[in-house]
Structure 1
Amino acid sequence: MATSKRATNGADTSTHPMTDKLQSTLHESVDTLAEKAGNAEASMRETSSATADNLAARKRLAKQKWQQSKVRNYAVENPLAAAGIAFAAGMLVTTLLKKSK
């Protein structure tokens, strides 16, 4: 730590002027960095909050559309046929993927 002495007129006189200047500069740099980090954190929090709200709205819309979809209604009314169609589609995709290798 730097040793400082106070003169009788109220001004600081230091026995280590270079150390004091470096210390002052470093404090200013750390303060500036802390302020910028705080601003970045606030911005990220706002963005993530807005994104979460947007995703929640999209999820509600997708759920609403799914509840009204003809595919869902068909699957609810004909579960065995829907399972058969899903199985056949899976087999078709698997066969196509095996042939492309």
Structure 2
Amino acid sequence: MATSQSATEQATSKSKNALNSPVTEKAVEAAHHVVDAIAEKAATAEDILRKTAADSQETLTDKQDEIKQQLQLSYSKTRDFAVQHPLAAAGIAFAAGVLLTTLLRRK
């Protein structure tokens, strides 16, 4: 048992000495600098990505609102046309139905 304790103490002593060596300290310091630099770059990339995502969300929302307005305008124009020219609207609807039925029956 004394041998195993002395081996453990020697291993601990060697690891402490290795950590106190100038080469190890320089390597540890260099590794810390590299990790810090990578962390800064990752944080910058994350900020850019978040800003881009937010801008894209705003753009999509604006486009969605624009399309809704266009659809409402088209619906209003169609309804106004149907109210002002009911026979023409019925004729157009009938012709469209005939055309659609003809196209669907061919396939």
- Judge same fold: TM > 0.5, yes or no: yes
Q: What is the match of residue 48 of structure 1?
A: 60
Structure 1 unaligned runs (5+)? 1-13
Query: Residues 55, 87 of structure 1: CA spacing in aligned structure 2 closer, same or farther, 3 A cutoff?
Result: closer
* Equivalent-residue separation in structure 1 for 2:63 and 2:29 (angstroms): 51
Q: Is 2:68 aligned against 1:67?
A: no
- Structure (1 or 2) with the larger CA radius of gyration: 2
Kindly report the root-mean-square deviation, in angstroms, between the aligned alpha carbons of the 2 structures. Answer: 3.2
Q: Aligned pairs, how many?
A: 81
Structure 2 unaligned runs (5+)? 1-23
| Relative contact order, higher structure (CA 8 A, sep 6+) | 1
> In the TM superposition, what is the alpha-carbon distance from 1:67 to its structure 2 partner?
0.5
Query: Residues 38, 84 of structure 1: CA spacing in aligned structure 2 closer, same or farther, 3 A cutoff?
Result: closer
* Equivalent-residue separation in structure 1 for 2:51 and 2:63 (angstroms): 18
* Equivalent-residue separation in structure 1 for 2:45 and 2:93 (angstroms): 59
Question: Identity percentage over the alignment?
Answer: 16
Q: What is the match of residue 88 of structure 1?
A: 98
The TM-score, its normalising length taken from structure 2, stands at: 0.57
